Amino acid sequence: MNTLIITGTYSPKLTACKYCQSHANDTDEKKTIVKNGKKEVTIRLESYQNIPTILKLKKQRYFCKNCHQHWTTQCSIVEENCFISRFMTFRILELLTQKISMTVIAKICHVSLTTVIRVLKSVEKHLPETLKPRSFPKVLMVDEFRSHATYEDKMSFICANGETGELVDVLPSRRLDKLMNYFNRSPKEKRE
């Protein structure tokens, strides 16, 4: 498959050291922070006309003569130590709100299924606690099914209303410790 490759360089002018906060120029106008080569990274961007797009970005490395520390500049389009752009993460989150499978989302965004699952798990901690507890129906049907191959578990857990057949929730793991944590988030009177 063809891939659109964009190249670029990111070399901002620094005023102070990242570690010791010393100024880039000392009192004698000698440079205390010097450029120290470039590091090339590959960043996955959103597709352009259904063509996978990557950015090969050369990020400037710096060296501080005062504290003898090296570092690479960090740009705002990607999180530190990540190769998926923030725009791609937002696109995955947007697609997760639709009624399509995670495998299809991975194909649309030209990323792995594991990346889609990682993005989904990253937003769970930001949910308000009031959204996490659940009320359960009088009759609760439970089952397990093969959903995705992860390192954690290959089987998922599903529960539904036993009287109406309405879906209550789908959990990514069928392990007892995960199920106990899920059900214990709700108050005891709601569980009974």
What pLDDT is stored for residue 88 in this prediction?
Answer: 92
What pLDDT is stored for residue 136 in this prediction?
Answer: 78
Q: Is the pLDDT of residue 57 over 90?
A: yes
Task: Name the more confident of 186 and 164.
Answer: 164
* pTM to 2 decimal places: 0.58
* SS3 assignment for the chain: CCCEEEEEEECCCCCECCCCCCECECCCCCECEEEEEEEEEEEEEEEECCEEEEEEEEEEEEEECCCCCEEECCCCCECCCCCEEHHHHHHHHHHHCCCCCHHHHHHHHCCCHHHHHHHHHHHHCCCCHHHCCCCCCCCEEEEEEECCCCCCCCEEEEEEECCCCCEEEEECCCCHHHHHHHHHCCCHHHHC
Q: Is the pLDDT of residue 27 over 80?
A: no
Task: Summarize pLDDT for 110-148 with one digit per residue, the tens.
Answer: 899 999 988 888 887 776 654 555 677 888 888 888 766
Mean pLDDT across the chain: 83
What value does the mean pLDDT take over residues 79-107? 89
